[in-house]
Amino acid sequence: MRRLILTTGDLNGIGAEISAKSLRELKLSSKQNVTVVLHPEQEPAFTRAIGRQLPMFDDWEIAAQTSEPGAQILLDRAAPALWVEQAARACLDEKFAALVTGPLSKPGIIKAGLTDLGHTEILRRVSKSGELYMSFWGSHFNVVLVTGHIPVSKVPKQWTAERIQNVTELTQNFLRATTPDDKRPLAFVGLNPHAGDKSLIGEEEENLGLKSARLVGPLVPDTAFQKENWGKYAAFLCAYHDQGLIPFKLIHGFDEGVHVTLGLPFLRTSVDHGPATELVGTGRAKHGSMKAALKMALDFSP
């Protein structure tokens, strides 16, 4: 039985709703099980949205031992950020094959008593995996971030050849596991305007000294994401958060991209958007990103 665990995110966000919509449309096989973590107060609305009564548990150990295919509910009154901690530990213990996460806000994490800035930081702390990298996979192109949730002023010191080589290796590993026939090169995007223009604007690009048979670049940032480049590269390795996510979200919106954490010993996928509290109860919350995140986890988890 391939077991996945889905943490639905902030209680006042759209996570539970889009999870229900996604599971209602996905057809789980006889060898697939998805455990959905909810607060008890969310269960009635979730059940109405999914359109059927699911098995319910209130014990993590028992839920992880199920041999029944399909979706099931795990009720937990703890803060959603703490669900992520517990779910990650369960994946590390191989009780679940993959973790899928709904949108979780930074205020929600702080309210839980944690100091982490986001899912990635929670997972890094719990897994003790060292560096983790955020990647975003879409129908038009893919983006991997060399640096994470840090101020732009700190990016140049962290944008190193070692990190780019590490990201390259992890990205190649993920591509081999998911799309082994994709032999396109990876492209790394320059840090400075015009990618430094041979050190006239900045020396960071010239100082990298990168060596990789599959890595090309640096691409000039302001032209890297032209449509003609989308099909040339298996992924764009971007220097910092907004350099990659502005073009990714501009093209893919909030309804199809999948966030994957690279560097974990288990597969973690997620939506590429936030809790969208303004959409709760409106019926306008789109679930395409959650559906894609679930499908990727179901297709590629061990």
Please state, in angstroms and rounded to a whole number, the distance separating the CA atoms of residues 100 and 143.
Answer: 19
pLDDT tens track of the chain, all 302 residues? 899 999 999 999 999 999 999 999 999 999 999 999 999 999 999 999 999 999 999 999 999 998 899 999 999 999 999 999 999 999 999 999 999 999 999 999 999 999 998 999 999 999 999 899 999 999 999 999 999 999 999 999 999 999 999 999 999 999 999 999 999 999 999 998 877 556 666 677 776 777 777 899 899 999 999 999 999 999 999 999 999 999 999 999 988 899 999 999 999 999 999 999 999 988 899 999 999 999 999 999 87
Please state, in angstroms and rounded to a whole number, the distance separating the CA atoms of residues 295 and 43.
Answer: 23
For the chain, the average pLDDT equals 94
Cα–Cα separations (whole angstroms), residue 146 to 39, 183, 272: 35, 21, 17
Helix (H) or strand (E) holding 267: strand 267-271
Dihedral angle at the C-alpha atoms of 175, 177, 183, 185, nearest 10 degrees?
A: 20
- For residues 267 and 97, is the Cβ–Cβ distance under 8 A? yes
Would 2-129+265-300 and 135-248 be classified into the same CATH topology? yes
Whole-number pLDDT of residue 214: 86
Whole-number pLDDT of residue 200: 60
Q: What is the CATH number of domain 135-248?
A: 3.40.718.10
Whole-number pLDDT of residue 302: 76
The domains of the chain are located at 2-129+265-300, 135-248
Q: What is the CATH number of domain 2-129+265-300?
A: 3.40.718.10
Backbone angles phi, psi at 202, to 5 degrees: -165, 150
Whole-number pLDDT of residue 217: 87
